[in-house]
Amino acid sequence: MGIPNLITETPGPKSKIMHANTSKYMKGLSCQVKLFPVCFEEGSGITLTDVDGNRYLDFSSGIYVTSLGHCHPKISEAISYWAKKLMNAHDFTTPIKEKLMEKMAAILPGKLNAIQLYSDGTAAVEAAIRAARAISNKQEFISAYRDFHGKTMAAVSCAQMYRGETFSYGATRAPGFYMVPRPDPYRPLWTKADGSIDTDAYIKFYETFLLEGTVGNVAAFVLEPAQGWGGSIFPPEDFFPKLKILCDKYKILIFDDEVLAGMGRTGEWLTLNHWGVVPDIVTFGKSFGNGFPVTAMVVKEENGNALEKISASSSYGGNPMACAAALASIEVIEEEGILQNVRSVGEFFMKRMLKMKEQHPIIGDVKGKGFLLGIELVKDKKTKEPFDEAGKLVYQKAFRNGLAWIPAGHILRMSPPLIMDEKYASMGLDLIENAIAEVEKEFGYK
Ligand SMILES: Cc1ncc(COP(=O)(O)O)c(C=O)c1O
């Protein structure tokens, strides 16, 4: 059977009925689900199958989660072994936890080896906020516009959600949490004489802000290494190294939230590795358990004692199934040469996307590293006005033709499974490019 393999129109009749029945009860569904109400029943490797029997090429990995493919046999077996043997043992160690700790300490850079385990990304972020305060004895935090870190109150205090959501539950950011702009090379606030982004101007602004806008009690910068939900936006190469110098000057920690971008998505264990900066605190989630809910918050060995001051993990953090999923996922990355695949197929993606940009009037920018990718749609390449309507239509058209993905808005975000080869990478981009061409025609371009 081919990929994709569509046997009904999509979403199919069973999908539509099941979605309607479910949404009588489930409220607040994401816009992607509302725009394409499909009901999935099975996942295998780089494919997803819906209840009508249609098979899709997966360009989303759940939501940056099943990065090693759906139901990877080694990972599923590791989880089911512990599901039959021991499901929970509070904070006590287990043989599988011992192995996971040793493996994590071996793959992480710079003595990042003081670890706590949680079961969702937000809880790990909350722990990181507690840890930053415990390490530094300081209270304030600086994060960035369009970063996302979760939906509990401290996490949302450092995160910018879509405007409506921020206004509804995040309008009262906790005191001492501030946001600053971070450099987006396509939409720079400050530029050099040659028009390129001026990283130094951002750093200078941060320094001014530290001195004038805070009470001098900043514990940490809280940043995604690259903005995932913000639209696969990567900072200029000199941003993190220069930020590190500023942080060292004022003894401020760098909390690097790698929940979305870490564990191989950009071809490194940590996306921050690309710029040679070792964070003081890092969080992992999503790909960490390849679908099993397991996340981690890690600090440097020298700060491990500070974790004694914050509470231990949660009811589920570090349970044997979770440890088994995380350990098996790391082993799969190593055994299957995933980092190398991401680097080489990632280059292939970027070359093809650059070509697409030349050929399409509504593609303003293409961006990404490895398998964390984005295509930004604009109404006009000169004005760069975001083209949201086109984004929605491209999403629906490509999905209808067999691409399971989750962009929304004018930046077409892509997060394919890291096991994907060039053949299927190319197939996914074909589906997207065809959809873009149709939309351009409908809006009268060319
Ligand atoms: C960078 C980042 N941090 C934290 C979170 C929150 O993770 P979770 O949804 O597992 O709570 C997310 C989720 O998208 C994220 O992208």
pLDDT tens-digit map of 332-355: 999 999 999 999 999 999 999 999
Average pLDDT over residues 55-77: 98
Strand order in the sheet with 218-223: 112-118, 295-300, 281-284, 253-257, 218-223, 140-144, 177-180
Provide the pLDDT for residue 177: 93
| DSSP for residue 117 | E
pLDDT tens readout for residues 269-289: 999 999 999 999 999 999 999
Question: Looking at the predicted structure, is the pLDDT value of residue 234 above 70?
Answer: yes
Q: Is the pLDDT of residue 154 over 70?
A: yes
Question: What pLDDT, on a 0 to 100 scale, did the predictor assign at position 164?
Answer: 52
pLDDT at 33: 93
Query: Which residues form the pocket of ligand 1, taking CB atoms under 6 Å from any ligand atom?
Result: 120-122, 125, 148-150, 224, 228-229, 257, 259-260, 285
Query: Which ligand 1 atom is the nearest neighbour of the CA of 258?
Result: 1
Give the distance (Å) from ligand 1 centre to CA of residue 439: 31
Task: Supply the mean pLDDT for the chain.
Answer: 95
pLDDT at 253: 98
β-pairing, 363-369 with 55-58? Answer: unpaired
Q: How confident is the model at residue 30 (pLDDT cuts 50, 70, 90)?
A: confident
Q: Which of 118, 148, 256 most suits a substitution to test ligand 1, by most atoms within 8 Å of the C-beta?
A: 148
Taking CA atoms, 432 is separated from 30, 201, 234, 265, 374, in Å, by 21, 36, 21, 21, 12
- 373 phi/psi in degrees, rounded to 5: -130, 155
Say yes or no to pLDDT of 165 above 70.
no
CA 259–ligand 1 middle distance (angstroms): 6
Cross-strand pairs, 47: 44, 57
Cα-to-centroid distance, 33 and ligand 1 (Å): 18
pLDDT at 28: 86
* Calpha distance 352→439 (Å, rounded): 19
* Alpha-carbon gap, residue 167 to 160, rounded angstroms: 10
Place 152 in a pLDDT band, splitting at 50, 70 and 90. confident
Number of H helices, E strands in the chain: 14, 14
Q: Which of 30, 64, 118, 125 to mutate to test the pocket of ligand 1 (most atoms within 8 A of CB)?
A: 125
Residue 366, CA atoms < 13 Å, CB-side half-sphere: 23
Q: What's the average model confidence in pLDDT over 142-170?
A: 76
- pTM > 0.95: yes
Q: What is the mean pLDDT of residues 48-75?
A: 98
Ligand 1 atom index nearest CA of 155: 4
Ligand 1, closest atom to CA 286? 10
Instruction: Write out pLDDT tens, residues 293-325.
Output: 999 999 999 999 999 999 888 899 999 999 999
Cα–Cα distance for residue pair 17/29, rounded to 1 Å: 16
Handedness of CA 75, 344, 109, 178 (dihedral sign): negative
CA–centroid distance, residue 297 to ligand 1 (Å): 13
Q: Which of 234, 259, 287, 406 to mutate to test the pocket of ligand 1 (most atoms within 8 A of CB)?
A: 259
Q: What are the φ/ψ torsions at residue 309 (nearest 5 degrees)?
A: -85, -20
Q: Mention every residue, 6+ apart, whose C-beta is less than 8 A from residue 376.
A: 186, 231, 363, 364, 365, 366, 367, 386, 410, 411, 412
The Å distance, Cα 212 to ligand 1 centre, comes to 31
**CA–CA dist 63, 280 (Å, integer):** 26
pLDDT at 408: 73
Q: Is 106 exposed, middle or buried (0-12, 13-18, 19+ CB in 10 A)?
A: exposed
| CA separation for the pair 423, 135 (Å, rounded) | 47
Can you tell me the distance from the alpha carbon of 205 to that of 198, in angstroms, rounded to the nearest whole number?
11
Query: 362 near 379, Cβ under 8 Å?
Result: yes
Counting from 1 in the atom list of ligand 1, the atom nearest the Cα of 150 is 6
Interval 71-121: pLDDT, tens: 999 999 999 999 999 999 999 999 999 999 999 999 999 999 999 999 999
How many other C-beta atoms are found inside a 10 Å radius of the C-beta of residue 334? Answer: 14
pLDDT, position 172: 64
**Beta carbons within 8 Å of 172's beta carbon, 6+ residues apart:** none
pLDDT in tens, 168-182: 455 567 899 999 999
> Which residue, judged by its Cα, is nearest atom 13 of ligand 1?
150
